[in-house]
């Protein structure tokens, strides 16, 4: 499976297992969504469980809040992460707060899915990476997969979780991993080991990172598309780096990060989002706080630019092996 197919499969598995799971969003029913992640669900499960919404992100989230409070398990799609802002008030003020406001009497078992990040020449309004806006909000879980296998397992775990989950899907790798050396697609997921996706039910636990490359000289922290870029960069530079795919930003597997940095003594963080106030800053601070006496050099970050997303300079905006080379050299030389 590619990542789109894996996400579609997760929906099918959970809708078959649990009649309380409902799916809705803009064009996700009859049309199957812009990226076809919900294709065929309405035909299989009916229009009362899979249906199209008005073009109103605030309305989508508010409707899901009522459903979840009533006992249903809504899985909603925001067509692009760039469109999520009209629903941000509902997410911050209602979704993240219900359990606390009701002293645990009401839960909020809902998932908000959205394609995020660049890679399709979508320009400023189809390419943003707003994950740090949600990791800052207490009461939300934030998930970003990097492979089809993890996308399905994490989405199933998110749907089964009693609390709200923001599930960002890196659309740059929907159909296959990228060659981080040259910023172009390589073999499709069909020939990639991470495309081995079981047909049935399985979960990848929230809050558990994956060590996707073992190493002794450096710890490289990444998530989503940047996992593939990180792997390409360290192989190109010939560095014995340990690459950790965070998979979930909240809850964060800080134990895995600590264990790795204590072993390597060096840390580089990479994110596609703009630099200022990005999640990479939180990672750098945590490593500094928890691993200070093990560090051989300062923690470094490689990030997107502090600009609106530049359509014509998309590949320059992405952190890539060339952008990462100086940071890797600095971390290793200090």
Active site residues: 126
Strands 50-52 and 210-213: unpaired
113 Cβ partners below 8 Å, 6+ apart? 7, 25, 37, 75, 76, 77, 78, 155, 167, 169
d(CA 76, CA 64): 7
CA angle 204, 104, 133 (to 5 degrees): 55
- Nearest by Cα to 8 from 129, 144, 156, 117: 156
207 Cβ partners below 8 Å, 6+ apart? 248, 251, 252, 253
* 74 membership: H or E segment, kind and range: strand 73-77
- Give the N- to C-terminal CA distance of the chain in Å, as an integer: 43
């Amino acid at each position: 499976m590619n990542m789109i197919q894996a996400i579609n499969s997760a929906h099918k598995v959970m809708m078959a297992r649990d009649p309380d799971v409902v799916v809705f969003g803009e064009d996700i029913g009859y049309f199957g969504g812009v990226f076809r992640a919900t294709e065929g669900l309405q035909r299989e499960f009916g229009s009362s469980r899979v249906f199209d919404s008005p073009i109103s992100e605030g309305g989508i989230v508010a409707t899901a809040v009522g459903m979840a409070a009533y006992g249903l398990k809504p899985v909603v799609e925001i067509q692009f992460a760039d469109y999520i802002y009209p629903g941000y008030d509902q997410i911050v003020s209602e979704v993240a707060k219900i359990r606390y406001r009701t002293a645990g009497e009401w839960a909020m078992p809902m998932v908000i899915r959205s394609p995020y990040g660049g890679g399709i020449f979508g320009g400023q309004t189809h390419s943003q990476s707003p994950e740090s806006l949600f990791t800052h909000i207490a009461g939300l879980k934030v998930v970003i997969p990097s492979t089809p296998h993890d996308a399905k397992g994490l989405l199933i775990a998110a749907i089964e979780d009693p609390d709200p989950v923001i599930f960002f899907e890196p659309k740059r790798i929907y159909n296959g991993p990228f060659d981080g050396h040259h910023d172009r697609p390589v073999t499709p997921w069909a020939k990639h080991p991470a495309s081995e996706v079981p047909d049935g039910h399985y979960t990848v636990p929230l809050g558990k990172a994956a060590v996707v490359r073992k190493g002794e000289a450096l710890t490289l922290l990444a998530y989503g598309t940047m996992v593939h870029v990180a792997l390409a960069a360290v192989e190109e530079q010939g560095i014995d780096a340990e690459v950790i795919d965070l998979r979930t930003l909240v809850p964060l597997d800080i134990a895995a990060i600590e264990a790795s940095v204590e072993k390597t003594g060096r840390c580089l963080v990479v994110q596609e989002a703009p630099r200022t106030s990005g999640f990479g800053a939180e990672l750098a601070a945590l490593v500094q706080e928890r691993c200070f006496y093990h560090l051989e050099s300062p923690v470094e970050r490689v990030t997107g630019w502090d600009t609106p997303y530049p359509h014509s300079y998309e590949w320059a905006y992405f952190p890539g092996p060339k952008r990462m080379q100086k940071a890797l050299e600095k971390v290793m030389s200090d």
